[in-house]
Amino acid sequence: MKKIILIAIIALGFLFLNLGCAKNSKKALLIFSYHSDYAWVQEEERGAEDILRNKGIAIATFYMDTKRNTNRDWAEKAADNAVKKIEDFKPDIVIVFDDNACDLVAKKYIGEKLPFVFCGMNGEPENYGFPAENITGVLERELYGESIELLKKLVPKVKKVAMLFDESNTSKKAISQLKNTDLHVEVSEIFSTNDFNEWKAKVRELQTSVDALGVIAYHTLKDKDGKTSLPMKAVLNWTLENSKIPDFTINDFTVKDGVLCGVVQSGYQQGKAAAEIALRILNGESPADIPIIAPQEGITLVNKRRADDLKIQIPEEVSQSATLIYPK
């Protein structure tokens, strides 16, 4: 009987200990600018959760869905809902992913007690008022020059390229960065549109005027109704089916979905780096003492099927250093 009572006391002790831990556990809120099905978001989220998991941290997520819904009213409503999520969840730290969440949510909290970490930011931090005493994070700096150098190893004759973008907030910031980048190749045109018919006409026109296409952003292109963004893969599939010149990108998912090559930033590494900073803050460091970082290492990707379709032989130098993608 004494043994049973002793076991019961120990069990109750563990129960109260676990309840105490749960009560005292930290809470992290992840606010994403885009939707949960977007490949970049999935990688960001996976990277953050791999760091935060099993650390006694309760994690909640919120998706602003401003990639598929691009009008200002939607964005402001999504930001209001994100603020409400913060008020309801009462996190100890917030991680915001990509520029819209930085601009529409984190910026509201400059100088407040609640700490924020950003990642995937294409814009200049000073444009948002960062860093602040409660805000630091991770910049995303696109590897245009490295991607073009990779392309030239695959297709040495490339001298002139055109770059294709949608007209999203992210694209506007990326184009600004691109214009200040020395690419060691002639950029004949930086074209942006949200009209799929204009995109198609431009792809056809460029077939005889450039040596390669940079397929950079195509997420907010709309069909004739002008309201709903088309599925990304539908836009890319049309582009690849109707373009017979080499292509490159700066996005990992774009190579995986069919474009020839790119030296890419990783959403996973962005999320992981932001979560590592968040852990430091939860462990007592001040955001003001943690500098903003900009990871420079990229991942070299080549799509083998696209290379075969374009009759491009992958040099041994590239095959040894790149990850070759073999789509199903």
Domains of the chain in start order, with CATH, are 2-140+267-289 (3.40.50.2300), 144-266+299-325 (3.40.50.2300)
Q: What is the pLDDT along the chain (328 residues), one digit of tens a residue?
A: 444 544 444 444 444 444 444 445 899 999 999 999 998 999 999 999 999 999 999 999 999 999 888 889 999 999 999 999 999 999 999 999 999 999 999 999 999 999 999 999 988 999 999 999 999 999 998 899 999 999 999 999 999 999 999 998 889 888 988 888 888 899 999 999 999 999 999 999 999 999 999 999 999 999 877 767 899 999 999 999 999 999 999 998 999 999 999 999 889 999 999 999 999 999 999 999 999 999 877 899 999 999 999 999 999 999 999 999 987 6
| pLDDT attached to residue 134 | 98
- pLDDT on residue 328: 67
- DSSP lists the bridge partners of residue 248 as 214, 261
Phi/psi of residue 31, nearest 5 degrees: -110, 120
Q: Determine the pLDDT at residue 212.
A: 98
Q: Which pLDDT value is given to residue 24?
A: 57
Q: What confidence score (pLDDT) does residue 316 get?
A: 95
pTM of the model: 0.80
Q: Could you identify the residue written with the tokens 């992840």?
A: 30
Check residue 313 and report its DSSP letter.
Answer: P
- Distances in Å between the Cα of 10 and the Cα atoms of 2, 13, 19, 187 are 12, 5, 14, 71
Helix (H, G, I), strand (E, B) or coil at 84: helix
Q: CA geometry: angle at 278 spanning 277 and 280, to 5°?
A: 65
Rounded to the nearest 10 degrees, what angle do helices 232-241 and 196-206 cross at?
30
Pick from 104, 99, 112: nearest CA to 139 = 99
| Strands, sheet with 26-32, edge to edge from the N-terminal-most edge strand | 57-63, 26-32, 93-97, 116-121, 135-139
